[in-house]
Structure 1
Amino acid sequence: MSKITDSTAPDSGSESVDTEAADVRVLKTDIQDTVPRGIRIAGAWSWRLLALFGVLAVFIFLIMELRLLVIPLLVALLISSLITPVHRFMVKRGVPKGLSVAVSLLGTIAVVAGLLWLAGNQIAQDSGEVKDRTIASFEAFKVWLRDSPLHIGDADLTAYLQSLMEMIQKDSSALWSGALSVGSTLGHVGTGLLLTLFSLLFFLIDGPGIWRFIVRLFPRRARPAIDGAGRDGWNTLANYARTQILVATIDAVGIGAGAFFLGIPMALPIAVLVFLGSFIPIVGAVLTGAVAVFIALVYNGLWIAVIMLAVVLIVQQVEGHVLQPLLMGSAVKIHPLAVVLVVTGGAMLAGIPGALFAVPVTAVINQMTRYIAGARWKNDPQALAMAAPRVADPDPNPDPVELSGLAAKIAGAVKSGAAARNATEPNPKAATPGTEATPDTPATPRDSDSSPSA
């Protein structure tokens, strides 16, 4: 009886497993019969999209938390994409790398400082006259308020100012905390500026080496695609930076020319401030436009200030809705509507930094995705060289032409090695039952096969 019990135990277990499998199949069949196929496909896509958006949300959250580190790095990358061609040009002409880096970095700082000095120096020279004209304009404004239908006299204006001062005194604690906040912000700006200069210095000194280190973190099979996509994205970033300079120049010329033809003094400093402010989305345009309108109001009166305001608004509208979408769209290969949408979305998510980096980040991601999806690295010798075994390279900053030659040499060596192995190894397909082939001696026919009777 024990033997019979032991022999039947596995059968009962298998029957239970078969029963569970049958229940699962029935359940799957019921689901397929009950839930339409379109709903099942939509559900499968939905949870995958939710997972992707969740990862993206966590990534954006981390970037916003680390913004004091991320923003200086992005600014350094933008500036580096502009001055790296100058640095490489000097290196190819025989200038030592250290000297080339110093000239490129100091030259960039000198250009920006020169523009700021040009604008600030003329404003400082005319500051006394601006002060006197501002006081005179304020007195004329008080006269206009007294003679206007509002009939606001000096006593009423003094009372309004006194109530404003009392309100400021009541909210002194909030203002003090705000001042501390401004001081903290200024400290963050100073730290970010130092980090930007430090990062820019190393990007110029060993940018290709840093990129090769990043690429080698990926598996060998993925390195050609990553390297080629990164270089393509870098070219797109450089195109964006050059186009942004062109757009800022057009803004500066438009507003500066308007100020010049309206007879507004300090037209050149106004143009310089507009050029520099164009690199700061939203706030830069508002502040520089306000300066231009204020100077027109102080020096030329109300109606000239109104005309200047119209000029500023027209130039900014053309820049925001025509130049930015068209020029940026063609430079970074993004549709103009997408440019407007990503700038708006970036401003909503991260304010001014979001509006500043929305277009370049989107353009770089778009170009890298298209490069990988099109498998363009398969025809890119420089990208294919990243998959080759690491060789000694005395030049830490190799030229793309040299990398192409290195890839060609590696490919030739691989082909010659394969040909040599094919020549020395036996070929089983060519052997016949009547022949014997060895790697050292050629195959010789047997005597029976070589006889005339055969």
Structure 2
Amino acid sequence: MTDRRRSPLPGEDPASTAAVPRGLRIAAAFAWRFLLVIAALYVVVWLVGRLSVVVVPVSIALLLSALMAPAVSHLVTIRVPRGLATALVLVAGLAILGGLLTFVIIQFTDGLPQLQTQLNSSLSQVRDWLVNDLHLRQEQIQQFIDNAISYLQHNQAAITTNALTTASTVGEILTGFLLTLFVTIFFLAGGDRIWSFLMLGAPRPVRNRLDVAGRRGFASLVAYVRATAAVAVVDAVGIGIGLWIVRVPLVVPLATLVFLGAFVPILGAVVAGAVAVLVALVTNGFVTALIVLGIVILVMQLESHILQPLLLGRAVKLHPLAVVLAIATGLVVAGIAGALLAVPLLAVLNSGIRSLLHETDPHPEEVDVLHDQEAAAPNDDPEEVVEGQR
């Protein structure tokens, strides 16, 4: 007959724990370990929040490095010194960014008078609709306007305080931009040496595995940034052409907003499209707004069913639910910066953790192969970069 007496857990005292059911002890063991993990994560999030002025620029610099690293590597392969290659790529990137911002500002300034005229016309139409269709009196509308003006006057102090806060925010943004530029230069010029130095702190038995996992994570980041940039360009061009066809003002600024919004998957495109529809509604009326809404939905469907699976699907291998939850968590924890960085962080962790869990210790030459190919083939599956050499 089988002995059904339970065996004690490792390290437990049978005399003192005999009255506690085994399942409860196992649940308690999981519970306190789970609480420790949550406490550690809370401390990490708290530290990131306290150091956000440094963490956010460094994170953005890492994204920019992932975007520019293939160009620098290509120049290095044709015997351009790495320092000169870094300078050329950075100057070209800043020139493109500065030219784009200047063009957008000029277009917005030129289109502002037309937008103001159309806005006044739309407000007049709304006022006529309120008077003729809803049978509101002119005095009621004027009273509402007067109340709004009175509210602004009585809250002038709060508005002034917010303006000062905004000025201080502009200073923080400028400081963050300079820090981002400085860190990006060092990441592009000596990122491999920085990573090798960090690997010296890892235990020697697992150093190669950690090295390969980190490089695969960066390869996933390169693939994600390049694929996202391609999707953003398609979204901006598609919606921009549609806005130009239906003669909505401020086409270039709105298309630029769509391009920037595409770097926040799903939510960014929705918000940018909603702004385009709102501008069309205010300036050109209800019918034009419906047409713009149809254009936005069509471009979003093209992105969701063709571009995302074709480009991002192979690049990062993340389920759409994981993407949405990551963005929502990042938005709650760190606002817009968290929403922007959540999916790249998830892609890097996904690739690195999969490498650690499913790979044996790589040979040293495989580490060198991954180092040589991580920038040369950024759109390939990061795990296949090493697997193809075995």
TM-score tier (shorter):
0.7 to 0.9
Deviation at 1:195, TM superposition (A): 0.6
Report matched runs for 1:238-277 at 5 Å: 238-277=222-261
Alignment match of 2:73 (pick from 69, 76, 88): 88
Contact 1:325–1:337 (CA under 8 A) maintained in structure 2: no
Contact 1:377–1:384 (CA under 8 A) maintained in structure 2: no
Task: Name the residue aligned to 2:377.
Answer: none
Contact 1:325–1:336 (CA under 8 A) maintained in structure 2: no
Structure 2 CA distance for partners of 1:143 and 1:377, relative to 1, 3 Å:
same
Task: Name the residue aligned to 1:220.
Answer: 204
Structure 2 CA distance for partners of 1:322 and 1:149, relative to 1, 3 Å:
farther
- Measured against aligned partners, the alpha-carbon deviations of 1:101-160 in whole angstroms (never above 9, x if no partner) come to 11101111222223333333333333333333332332333222221214242x433322
Contact 2:243–2:292 (CA under 8 A) maintained in structure 1: yes
Q: Which amino acid aligns with 2:36?
A: A
Deviation at 1:171, TM superposition (A): 2.0
Structure 2 CA distance for partners of 1:348 and 1:298, relative to 1, 3 Å:
closer
Contact 2:68–2:89 (CA under 8 A) maintained in structure 1: yes
Q: Residues of 1 paired with 2:314 and 2:114: CA distance? A: 46
Report matched runs for 1:1-400 at 5 Å: 28-153=13-138, 155-279=139-263, 285=269, 288-289=272-273, 291-297=275-281, 299-312=283-296, 315=299, 328-383=312-367
Bigger mean CA deviation after superposition, 181-190 or 193-202: 181-190
Task: Name the residue aligned to 2:4.
Answer: none
Structure 2 CA distance for partners of 1:313 and 1:182, relative to 1, 3 Å:
farther
Q: Residues of 2 paired with 1:33 and 1:291: CA distance? A: 66
Contact 1:248–1:274 (CA under 8 A) maintained in structure 2: yes
Structure 2 CA distance for partners of 1:326 and 1:61, relative to 1, 3 Å:
farther
Q: Residues of 2 paired with 1:264 and 1:82: CA distance? A: 32
Deviation at 1:384, TM superposition (A): 8.3
Q: Residues of 2 paired with 1:301 and 1:32: CA distance? A: 75
Structure 2 CA distance for partners of 1:30 and 1:376, relative to 1, 3 Å:
closer
Q: What residue ranges of structure 2 are gaps of 5+ in the alignment?
A: 1-11, 375-390
- Measured against aligned partners, the alpha-carbon deviations of 1:363-418 in whole angstroms (never above 9, x if no partner) come to 21222122222344423525489xxxxxxxxxxxx9579xxxxxxxxxxxxxxxxx
Q: Residues of 2 paired with 1:321 and 1:164: CA distance? A: 45
Bigger mean CA deviation after superposition, 110-119 or 310-319: 310-319
Contact 1:101–1:201 (CA under 8 A) maintained in structure 2: yes
Deviation at 1:274, TM superposition (A): 1.3
Bigger mean CA deviation after superposition, 27-36 or 283-292: 283-292
Q: Residues of 1 paired with 2:152 and 2:252: CA distance? A: 37
Q: Residues of 1 paired with 2:308 and 2:368: CA distance? A: 36
Deviation at 1:273, TM superposition (A): 2.9
Structure 2 CA distance for partners of 1:399 and 1:218, relative to 1, 3 Å:
same
TM-score, with normalisation over the residues of structure 2? 0.82
Q: Residues of 2 paired with 1:197 and 1:321: CA distance? A: 35
Contact 2:57–2:176 (CA under 8 A) maintained in structure 1: yes
Structure 2 CA distance for partners of 1:374 and 1:258, relative to 1, 3 Å:
same
For the residue of structure 1 that corresponds to 2:80, the secondary structure is coil
Bigger mean CA deviation after superposition, 143-152 or 180-189: 143-152
Contact 2:115–2:249 (CA under 8 A) maintained in structure 1: no
Structure 2 CA distance for partners of 1:332 and 1:258, relative to 1, 3 Å:
same
Deviation at 1:338, TM superposition (A): 1.6
For the residue of structure 1 that corresponds to 2:18, the secondary structure is helix
TM-score, with normalisation over the residues of structure 1? 0.71
Bigger mean CA deviation after superposition, 203-212 or 304-313: 304-313
Structure 2 CA distance for partners of 1:39 and 1:317, relative to 1, 3 Å:
farther
Contact 2:118–2:284 (CA under 8 A) maintained in structure 1: no
Contact 2:278–2:289 (CA under 8 A) maintained in structure 1: yes
Greater length-normalized contact order (CA 8 Å, ≥ 6 residues apart): 2
Q: Residues of 1 paired with 2:293 and 2:316: CA distance? A: 32
Q: Which amino acid aligns with 2:276?
A: A
Q: Residues of 1 paired with 2:71 and 2:186: CA distance? A: 16
Q: Which amino acid aligns with 1:256?
A: G
Deviation at 1:165, TM superposition (A): 1.7
Structure 2 CA distance for partners of 1:282 and 1:167, relative to 1, 3 Å:
farther
Q: Residues of 2 paired with 1:283 and 1:334: CA distance? A: 16
Q: Which amino acid aligns with 2:166?
A: V
Structure 2 CA distance for partners of 1:345 and 1:283, relative to 1, 3 Å:
closer
Q: Residues of 1 paired with 2:176 and 2:212: CA distance? A: 30
- RMSD between aligned residues: 3.0
Q: Which amino acid aligns with 2:179?
A: L
Task: Name the residue aligned to 1:430.
Answer: none
Contact 1:119–1:273 (CA under 8 A) maintained in structure 2: no
Deviation at 1:282, TM superposition (A): 8.2
Contact 2:326–2:342 (CA under 8 A) maintained in structure 1: yes
Q: Residues of 2 paired with 1:376 and 1:124: CA distance? A: 59
Q: Which amino acid aligns with 1:59?
A: V
Aligned residues: 362
Deviation at 1:346, TM superposition (A): 1.7
Q: Residues of 1 paired with 2:181 and 2:155: CA distance? A: 39
Q: What residue ranges of structure 1 are gaps of 5+ in the alignment?
A: 1-26, 386-397, 402-454
